Amino acid sequence: MKTNRIHQFDAFSAQLFGGNPGAVVLDADNLTEKDMKNIAREMNNSATGYVLTSQRANFRLRYFTPSDAEITFCGHVTLVTLATIAKERRFGADLGIVKQYDIEINAGLVKGEIDWSGKEPIISFFPLSINLDPLPFNHAQLAEALAINLDAIDQSKPILMEKTNRYVYFAIKSLQQLKELNVNQKTAKVHAEQHNIILYCALTPHGVDENSHAHSRVFGPLIGIAEDPVTGSSQGPLTAYMVRNGMIHNH
């Protein structure tokens, strides 16, 4: 019988049962793709990561959702994979060492780092280049597909897709209107299937904290995620979208 350790975590939070839950399996070479899907379904987190041997990087990472979908990249699972590697002192990670990694994902290579020069390891990764492109549908069609109020969408800002992960970004006029969004998962899934959209990111430059630059909500009907609590991989393109459209001025 195959035996594998599954590391469960709450990312982006110091509070138990807070943040964004996920899981990672460090030694996954003995698992079939069916095994990976079954584990992801059983764990029922937004994503589960699997560390595999790579011929062109320090290791390979694959990500699966509970709906059996394999996604190109997952930010919070990548961060906690590196944190788990540090905790287990794997791949050369240890106290007093700054270790950099090449991580193979389905879209190419990303850079990761474990900086353990202090008492606690500092984890970071550097994503692929960001490409934002227009889409063949307008604001009214998007509102109809998601079953949301067209008046809530800031139509002065474009709808753009980040091509690597296939995330769609669009602006909402106010924080209150963003909070009130109630996406119809059935109609949104049909639209996502038509355009191969992994996630929809609705954003506004009005944050809960007066010092924050943005607030966002992320929906993934195509991959069985009604709403993701935190989506690390959406943050870089979100920032690029806001800078491009003049929504961040002090950067």
Sequential pLDDT tens for the chain (251 residues): 678 999 998 877 777 777 778 899 999 999 999 999 999 999 999 899 999 999 999 999 999 999 898 999 888 899 999 999 999 999 999 999 999 999 999 988 999 999 999 999 999 988 777 889 999 999 999 999 999 999 999 999 999 999 888 999 999 999 999 999 999 999 999 999 999 999 999 999 988 887 888 999 999 999 888 998 777 788 889 999 999 999 986 55
The structural domains of the chain, ordered by start, are: 7-126 (3.10.310.10), 132-244 (3.10.310.10)
Residue 250: per-residue pLDDT: 56
Residue 5: per-residue pLDDT: 94
Q: Which amino acid is at 230?
A: V
Q: Are 95 and 36 in contact (CB under 8 A)?
A: no
Q: Facing residues of 204 across strands?
A: 215
Residue 92: per-residue pLDDT: 94
Give the helix/strand (H/E) hosting 8.
strand 7-11
- Cα 191 to Cα 175: distance, rounded to the nearest angstrom: 25
Residue 12: per-residue pLDDT: 72
Cα–chain center distance at 90: 24
